[in-house]
Amino acid sequence: MKLSPHTAPVEPTDLLIRFHNQVGAAIDVTGSLSRARWSCHGCGDTGYEYAVHLTREDTNGHATACRAAYHRFQR
């Protein structure tokens, strides 16, 4: 059983930005500059696909609120 936050998962090839939530779990922004989405390794939530400057704002909001360290389900 993994008890520590998922801080450094394998970097996807289309990784654009990596944020960390309140407990250090990674949140990856992937895709392209015109179509990017985020995925949280702490709680498993994902964001909608937007231009990267909008996705960055959305991801930062999630990182500020999320306190999950690890999840076991797949979306």
Positions touching Zn ion (CB under 5 A) are 40, 42-43, 45, 66
Compute the distance between CA of residue 67 and CA of residue 25 in angstroms, rounded to an integer. Answer: 8
**What is the closest distance, in whole angstroms, from the C-beta atom of residue 49 to Zn ion in the complex?**
17
Compute the distance between CA of residue 11 and CA of residue 59 in angstroms, rounded to an integer. Answer: 17
Q: Which is nearer to Zn ion, 45 or 49 (CB)?
A: 45
Helical (H) or strand (E) element with 30: strand 26-31
Q: Which is nearer to Zn ion, 36 or 66 (CB)?
A: 66
Cβ atoms 46, 66 nearer than 8 A: no
Q: Which is nearer to Zn ion, 34 or 48 (CB)?
A: 48
**What is the closest distance, in whole angstroms, from the C-beta atom of residue 19 to Zn ion in the complex?**
10
